[in-house]
Structure 1
Amino acid sequence: MNLRHKLMYVAMSLAFAPGTLLAADQDATAQSPPSKNPEATDKKVQNLDAISVSATKRDTPLQKTPVAVTAIAVDTLDRERVMTVQDLTKLVPGLQGTSQGDHGVVTLTLRGIGNDSAKTEYADPEVATFVDGIYAPRAEAASGLLLDMDGVEVLRGPQGTLWGRNSTAGAISFQTAKPDIGGGFYGNAQVGAGNYHQFGSRAAFNLPISDTFAMRVAVVHEQHDGYVDYQKPSGQLPSVADQQAAYLASPASGGTLAGFKPIDPGQYVQGGDKYNAQDQSALRVSTLWQPSEAFKWNLSYEYFIDRGTPSMSLMQTPRDGQKFWSALIDTAPYLHRTSNTVRSRMDWNINDGMQLSYIAGYNHYSGQSDFDQDVGVSVPTSFTTNGVYQDDRTNSSNYTNWSQEINLKSTGPQTVDWILGAYYGYEDNDIRFDIPIMNGTRYGTVSWQGSFIQPKETVESYALFGQATWHLSDHWRLTGGARWSHDDKENKGGINWGWAYDPTVPQVPISPDVYPDPSNGFSISQRNTAKYSKGKPTWLVRLDTDVSENGLAYASVSTGYKSGGTQDAGTLYKPETLTNYEVGTKFVFFDGHMTWNSAVYYENFKNFQLSAPIVYPDGNHGLGFSNVGGSTKVMGFESELAYQQKGDRFNLIFSAITKKELGKLIYAGSNDYQGLPACPTESNLANCADVTGNDLPHAPNMSLTAIYEHDFQLGNGGRLTPRVSAQYQSSQWLSYFNLGSGDKQKAYTRGDLALRYSEPGDKWWVNGYVQNVSNGKIRTSAGRFLMSDGSLQYVSQYLAPRTYGVQIGVWL
């Protein structure tokens, strides 16, 4: 029995193990611990102004925190089936997410600002991710499957003062559930099943060991079959006679059929795991040691494995006779990722007015993958003509990072609330990424192929920061903060190998166990050894005031920063900076049963970093970074309305982006968009386009999410709760090129339904759900292929099709 199946067995065993069933409050779910005081818990649930957040690195009421922050409670995560970082998007104003198939990574955009550079060895996204206050460079490895969470906070706008250099657009802070020393033994578990052979199980339990020590153990497994079926080659491949004619017409034939061989239908994948499959498991063991009221130490270990498959790009217009969710695949999907994480936090209450905290983390993340980059768009006319075989293959990747932060802050009532801190982070990463591209089929001639071998890329980041809030009066507060960050990045011995077109070398796709060199047809196209070193200050000024007893208004100017770095050929790119001007309000109505929070912002971006796979004039491939000149400008409005009372719960989440203009970039290229015009020599690109002033992608003019649920009390004391969730988004571009309908997601509405029955006393519950009720085809990215007849075929990544299932949960 492998570890994945052991985790499944443990979760299922816990779900149905005998034990003392504890009553929970009326809004409890299978992820949150049972209440020891139902009346107090009910008051907290019903009074929304009691929600606390840690956006300022101290616990403060959400409605008294002058920051644009979305607080997502654990019951919302459960009822909305939030399983990954990408699932948060509909719950947060201005947040968009997509996956990158060839690397299997998650990329996030907030307020129109984001990038896909997170798939590189440096992993510097504009939306930073933190778990228990510890920076996680790779969102897909952050708190695997959102296991046993205590809540999620999404901080919108630059958070460069308190949260770090890579939070130019915002930050996502995950808080895991912690052990409870005085709460006794309790636990919860659930299992679920659905279409596409979906199966899920998760469990968590609290174990007090002594008066000073407690443990918490949580486990999860989620799986489903892939959404993308394999197309059969029969009926799509040309006849042997047509193949011979096409081969004779090609330069490779020499005018004879001596080298001809018919296309082998067996090269096309017909069985095994499909693309867009899930097979993920995670385990977390947390401990709390609290020998006195003045000191506590939270320590956890988390293990996450992903044995699913990458997400496949689909033809926007399928070939005649083919299903939409299908593709003609000649590279079988493969994904093998493992993450090991240790997180530690120590808190000392030095006296009644001061606390010292030491926060440290370690993560090792490794992965391999195979992805069909040609996505079966072009059907070959012979084994070596017209079609394209391209396998994007991560042979190996290893990412190791450490981080440490120490901060000293004031506690309790003070005229000036302050915090001082120091941060150190280090990354040591390596990767080998191969791209064989063959003409026709994998048995054809080499179009181009390369191997990108980066044996050691390091990042060292240092920072000093401080922030203070001066209580000018009972109703006015002035906050100022500053951070100085310094980054050293170095590529040691990185080499890009490209095809040398030596006719004496056999033309076969490069194998993972072959090191490229001239003897097997490769030459060095670029040496990437280089070092980047630069520091940058960021700062914040904010004024906030109480508006009567139930309101807050604030105005702020803040800056964010993302470091530059090294790229192919050892060239450097510049750091990017963002200045954000923001005015916001927060109001409480109906004795805490309704809240309404809004913000207006204007962002001015300098040297915005764009990255994309590119082709150089000499035909070699690479990943290029460009700094957008001038100012990239974004302006928008966000609003969140929440209401809870007497069994009714209602949320409205609104975002409008009224300005989203890219700065100056004349030479923008991307291999994902074939058919771009040829570039002048000085651009260092084979093909490119002028994107100056274009709209930013993933930035709809308007986005609105509405969620409503109501409790129907039944005669037996049970409760039936229907839930409706719907999201509307206006049309949005999917790239910086703004190339027309194929490069755009049109306006859409997507809805989810759920019906939950809770047994009297909430000892167990059953939930049925349908997600994407209308089975809408929602694009999250786009690309295009240049066909042999000169036409352009667009492809896209898509959100999941309609899924449905049932869950059963119990309290232990």
Structure 2
Amino acid sequence: MRKVWKPLMGLCCSASMATLACGTAYAQDTLPADGQAAQDEDDDFFDDDNVVIVTATLRAQDIQDIPIAVTAVSQAELDRQGIVDIRNLGSLSSSFNLQSSQTESQGTSIRIRGIGTTGNNTGLESSVGVFIDGVYQSRPGVALGDLVDLERLEVLRGPQGTLFGRNTSAGALNITTKRPSLTDVEGFANATYGNFNQINVQGGISVPVVTDSLGIRVSGAYRHRDGIVTSAVTGAESGTRDRILLRGQMLWEPAPEVSLRIIGDYIDANDECCDAIILRETGLVNAGAFAAAGLTANGGVVTSGRAAFEGRDSNSQQFENPNDQWGVSGELKWDLGGAQATAIVAYRDFNAQSRQESDFVGLDIFTSGAGSNFNPAGSQPNDTNIQTFTAELRFQGSLFDDKIDWLIGGFYSNEDIRELQSLTLGDDYQAAVGTALFGAAPPALGPNPLLALANGIDASGSFANNLFTQDAQSWSIFTHNVFHITDTLSFTAGARYVEERKDGAFNQVAASSDACLATALNALNDPTTDPLAPLRGAALGLTCFPFTVEANPIADLPFGPGGALVPVDLSTILPLPRQFDDRFEDDQLTWTLQLAWEPSDDYLIYGGVSRGFKAGGFNLDPTAAASGGDPRFNSEVVDAYELGIKSTLFDGRVRANLALFHTEISDFQVLEFTGVQFQTFNVNDVTSTGAELEILAQWSDYISTNVAITYADAQFGDDCAVGLTGAAAGFAQGLCGFPLVNAPQFTGIFGMTYDGPISSGTEWTMLANFTMRYESSRRTSTNPIDPGLFDPADPMNPAALIPFDVQEANIRANARLGFTSPNERYTIEFWGTNIFDERTRGITFNTPLRGGTGDRSRGAFIEDPAFYGVTVRTKF
């Protein structure tokens, strides 16, 4: 620990000196300050109207008065940065990172301080919880709707399990929408047009139906964008946007001590997402192996490497990911005199479908979620339905002349998942996979060895429909209490007891493959002395891999004398996936202990320790239980230590916040293809250690600057594979001692804004904003690292990794220039994001079935290119 904390202390001392000397800072927009404590206007440049109020502790408090590392922004700041959904929050928080893989609705992972969920399996829950108006969103993909008509957005860093509950082991996003006004009619409208044929329209209106008692608010958004990746094979586009959002609210205050808020929303998205480019091609192309098998010489890859990366060109044919969702919530607040009661009840229904050429090449190898156009015989599109019901009740108040600020509550959730995964083999499956498996095929088998080993039976059209169900229930009781020991010293103690139960099942509801059966019969009937026996076993695995056996895998097959039927344990033939019906149960106690000291009105010094957890569950993938594997995985447990200081400097012109953190995770959840199956396993040692610095400054009425810096050393422990066996142990050993995926060590944000008169002779105002984000190099894949090539002085040395698995250090910059009419009625803005068109990738992977280890084709999901356009706004 001394080796870690010593350089951190040096970094923090340097950062503190920079705060005092150079005056760089970050100015956030004003947030409404209902219930805020008054400040001394003579001592604080940020007067009462500019106090940033957050609810990170489920209490309305000034952001400088809470012992939590949190970034808070308003709708105005989101507009200023051109942020329309949570994908782009990285330009505001240096500790925030988000990537998406094959489907944004299911493959989106949020990371804070380098920690997040690894994998795109629906059974994996997020390490960063997302809450909208106090309601937990079951998966990050559910929360990808437009950020429109918000009051504020808070990025809470570090475990938040005591107050926010399950699946906040790395942090939380707390999003609050604007409430209906009970006094005035107000509204807004925005329209944007940009490159890639971007069309964004947002609007909202609030109307007091009964003054001071009943109000309604309606808002919505429409967003369209052409694709950022184009198939060089078909011209199809991927990475499109085509979605609408509608939200309606009612606020009723029948008495001063009672309020009821009901919110309903609907989102419909028909995005085409997400195709990948080929960064590195297999050596089988140059060897002529695909041509020898009767396929196109390039094996379906028209473009790859730097040309594909720069041109954003892919090789696939179809990537559809439509989804829709709706939800309703109710929040009742009642001042009981000695305490305030809050009850929140919510229901959400999320549906997503996908049809994807998951081989990522131009050959017809296999399709995930093929649909009737590909296979009228029975294959279906992938379909995911998640229904979530949540209920929370809490009471809070104060005792002994405000010496104790107490809060107690209870929470219940019920989540039902139904997911159908469909896979169909295509016309080129046997030839392409045989090429990848055998390279130059034995002459006796001809140019298509898989076809020969299946007795000439074509596997094209073979399909499997796999149905997963999971019923998850969770309940908890919690308390969070602040003890004011003196006027300047306080102690916080909180705890939450949680019980989790998940019932998971997997059934193959339909399947058809004559080629699989023929290959199996050949493999079993032929003597082991047959020189082709090893090839038959490999061919069997690749021809039959989509198909399952029952939980008791005994079948009568004609393997007795004279072809007589005899019982055969199919699991001994090959590692076929196994159907299951099982239960996962767990209970955890999460807690937090903090000490905070305010030596003056301008400083808060705090330190604390907390425990969080992320629920375990089931791997919802057909191969989860292959080879007798257990489809269950354990919960993550997180212990976090934090020391911080919040300060208001230079007569209130500068706010500088610094946090040191160290996080230890046991049973960290990893999802990876081990060579036989997509297996979820837990590694026992992951840490993230670092420091965060945020400086916010308002140098004059019109000029502000911002700096945010994060150093996070997030890595697997040296002994992370202890306790694992089999393929998982071998895979995890290649992770131990190395960085986590998409966890850059250094991230920095700098921004400057002018928001004031164009000149002294006009009432028009001008907004000029420039923001840039720097990231050091980062891993983009969980593929094992070669320890022999690893250099501790250069932990991201590409030579130690499989080629192309490192995203080099990069800088992304955004700019915006706007003009606003008198009375702030109309605004026009010219803007650009990633204005230098920095090309980066988020996730890198082995392209399926394109060669063995050491000769694998590498694919990547790229991040957004340069966008630019014009926006007009009006409000009333």
TM-score where L is the length of structure 1: 0.81
TM alignment of 1:545-564, pairs within 5 A: 545-564=597-616
Structure 1 or 2, whichever has the larger Rg, is 2
SS at match of 1:716: coil
Determine the structure 2 residue equivalent to 1:191: 191
Letter of the structure 2 residue corresponding to residue 777 of structure 1: R
8 A contact 2:204–2:219 mirrored in 1? yes
Distance 1:572 1:62, change over 3 A: same
User: Does 2:423 match 1:435?
Assistant: yes
The aligned residue for residue 626 of structure 1 is 681
Could you say what secondary structure the match of 2:344 adopts? Answer: strand
Give the root-mean-square deviation of aligned CA atoms: 3.4
Whether 1:606 aligns to 2:658 is no
Mapping for residues 505-654 of structure 1, pairs under 5 Å: 525-567=577-619, 568-569=624-625, 571-616=631-676, 621=677, 623-629=678-684, 631-644=685-698, 645-654=700-709
Letter in 1 for 2:329: R
Say whether residues 1:422 and 2:476 are aligned partners. no
Any residues of structure 2 matched to 1:680-719 within 5 Å, and which? Answer: 682-683=726-727, 690-714=734-758, 715-719=761-765
Task: Give the Cα separation in 1 of the matches to 2:67 and 2:725.
Answer: 50
Structure 1 contact 315–324 (Cα < 8 Å) conserved: no
Q: Is it true that 1:100 corresponds to 2:108 in the alignment?
A: no
Q: Does 1:155 align with 2:156?
A: yes
Counterparts of 1:716-727 in structure 2, within 5 Å, are: 716-727=762-773
Query: SS of the residue aligned with 1:56?
Result: coil
Provide the rounded CA distance (Å) in 1 between the counterparts of 2:48 and 2:655: 9
Of the candidates 355, 358, 376, which is equivalent to residue 343 of structure 2?
358
The alignment partner of 2:767 has SS state of strand
Match of 2:262 in 1: 299
Are the structure 2 counterparts of residues 502 and 179 from structure 1 closer, same or farther at C-alpha, using a change threshold of 3 Å? Answer: same
Quote the Cα distance in structure 2 between the aligned partners of 1:148 and 1:473: 40
Out of 225, 235, 249, which is 1:270 matched to? 235
SS in 2 for 1:179: coil
Matched position secondary structure for 2:77: helix
Alpha-carbon distance, 1:323 to partner: 7.1
Shift of 1:439: 7.4
Q: Is the 8 A contact 2:492 2:595 kept in 1?
A: yes
CA–CA separation in structure 2 for the residues paired with 1:473 and 1:325: 63
Matches within 5 A, 1:469-484: 469-484=482-497
- CA distance 1:28–1:558, shift in 2 (3 Å): closer
Match among 317, 323, 338 for residue 337 of structure 1: 323
Residue 53 of structure 1 corresponds to 54
Could you tell me which residue of structure 2 aligns to residue 201 of structure 1? Answer: 201
Letter in 1 for 2:472: V
Tell me by how many angstroms 1:537 deviates: 0.5
**1:18 aligns to what?**
none
Instruction: Kindly indicate whether residue 472 of structure 2 is the aligned counterpart of residue 485 of structure 1.
Output: no
Identity of aligned residues (%): 22
Secondary structure at 2:517 match in 1: coil
1:134-165, Cα deviation, whole Å (9 max, x unpaired): 11012222272112111101111111111102
Shifted more, 745-754 versus 119-128: the winner is 119-128
User: Aligned AA for 1:802?
Assistant: A
| C-alpha distance 392-455 of structure 1, shift in aligned 2 (>3 A) | closer
Q: Which residue of 2 aligns with 1:374?
A: 359
C-alpha separation in 1, matches of 2:369 and 2:738: 30
What is the alpha-carbon distance in structure 1 between the residues aligned to residue 754 and residue 725 of structure 2?
64
Q: Which amino acid aligns with 1:194?
A: G
Q: In structure 1, what is the Cα distance between the partners aligned to 2:871 and 2:115? A: 36
Mean Cα deviation higher: 685-694 or 775-784: 685-694
Partner secondary structure for residue 162 of structure 2: coil
Distance 1:689 1:502 in 2: 36
1:751 aligns with 2:806: no
Inter-partner Cα distance in structure 2 for 1:103 and 1:711: 35
Shift of 1:448: 11
Specify whether residues 493 and 783 from structure 1 end up closer, same or farther in structure 2 by C-alpha distance, changes over 3 A only: closer
Cα distance in structure 1, aligned partners of 2:28 and 2:186: 14
1:348 equivalent among 309, 318, 334: 334
2:837 aligned partner: 775
Aligned residue among 279, 285, 293 for 2:242: 279
Q: In 1, distance between residues paired with 2:49 and 2:839? A: 35
Q: Name the CA distance, whole Å, in 1 between partners of 2:163 and 2:804.
A: 41
Q: SS of the counterpart of 1:86?
A: helix
Compared CA separation, residues 188 and 706, structure 1 to 2 (3 A): same
Q: Which whole-Å CA distance do the structure 1 matches of 2:549 and 2:716 have between them?
A: 43
**Larger displacement relative to structure 2 (449-458 or 397-406):** 449-458
8 Å contact kept, 2:129–2:168: yes
| CA shift for structure 1 position 116 | 3.6
Partner residue of 1:264? none
Q: Distance in 2 between matches of 1:103 and 1:72?
A: 24
Give me the whole-angstrom Cα distance separating, in 2, the residues matched to 1:577 and 1:435. Answer: 35
Amino acid at match of 1:375: F
- Once residues 122 and 175 of structure 1 are traced to their aligned partners in structure 2, the CA distance between those partners, rounded to angstroms, is 27
Structure 1 residue 310 displacement after superposition? 0.7
User: Whose helix fraction is larger, Structure 1's or Structure 2's?
Assistant: 2
Residue aligning to 1:214: 215
Q: CA deviation at 1:766?
A: 0.2
Q: How does 1:759-798 map to 2 (within 5 A)?
A: 759-785=821-847, 787=850, 791-798=855-862
Q: Deviations over 1:532-582 (max 9, x none)?
A: 111110111100000322000000000001122233335422211010010
- Deviation (angstroms), 1:697: 1.6
Instruction: Say if 2:279 and 2:304, in contact at 8 Å, map to a contact too.
Output: no
Contact 2:428 2:460 in 1 (8 A): no
8 A Cα contact 1:651 1:708, kept in partner: yes
DSSP-derived class of the 1:717 partner: coil
Matched residue SS, 1:700: coil
Q: How do 1:80-95 residues align onto structure 2 when only pairs under 5 Å count?
A: 80-95=81-96
Which of 112, 115, 118 aligns to 1:113? It is 115
Amino acid at match of 1:405: E
Q: Partners in 1 of 2:726 and 2:419 — Cα distance?
A: 30
Measure the CA separation in 1 of the matches of 2:47 and 2:748: 24
Task: Please give the TM-score of this superposition, normalised by the length of structure 2.
Answer: 0.75
1:396 aligns with 2:383: yes
Segments of structure 1 that go 5 or more residues without pairing to the other structure are 1-26, 233-268, 669-679
Residues 450/593 of structure 1: CA separation in 2 closer, same or farther (3 Å cut):
farther
CA contact (8 A) 1:303 1:341 kept: yes
Distance 2:256 2:738 in 1: 57
Q: Determine if the alignment matches structure 1 residue 468 to structure 2 residue 518.
A: no
Counterpart of 1:256? none
Instruction: Give distance in 2, aligned partners of 1:196 and 1:279.
Output: 12
Tell me if structure 2 keeps the 8 A contact 1:49–1:63.
no
User: How far is 1:336 from its partner?
Assistant: 1.3
**Matches of 2:431 and 2:851 in 1, distance apart?**
19
| 1:207-250 per-position Cα deviation (integer Å, ceiling 9, x unaligned) | 11003110000010011100112214xxxxxxxxxxxxxxxxxx
Native 8 Å contact 2:548 2:578 kept in 1? no
Structure 2 CA distance for aligned equivalents of residues 636 and 46 of structure 1: 33
When residues 494 and 391 of structure 1 are mapped into structure 2, their CA distance, relative to the original with a 3 A threshold, is closer
What CA distance in whole angstroms lies between the structure 2 residues aligned with 1:323 and 1:129?
32
Deviates more, 1:448-457 or 1:366-375: 448-457
Does the aligned pair in 2 maintain the 1:94–1:699 contact within 8 Å?
A: no
Q: Residue type matched to 1:793 in 2?
A: S
2:321 and 2:820 map into 1 onto residues whose CA distance is: 38
Cα offset for 1:194? 0.5
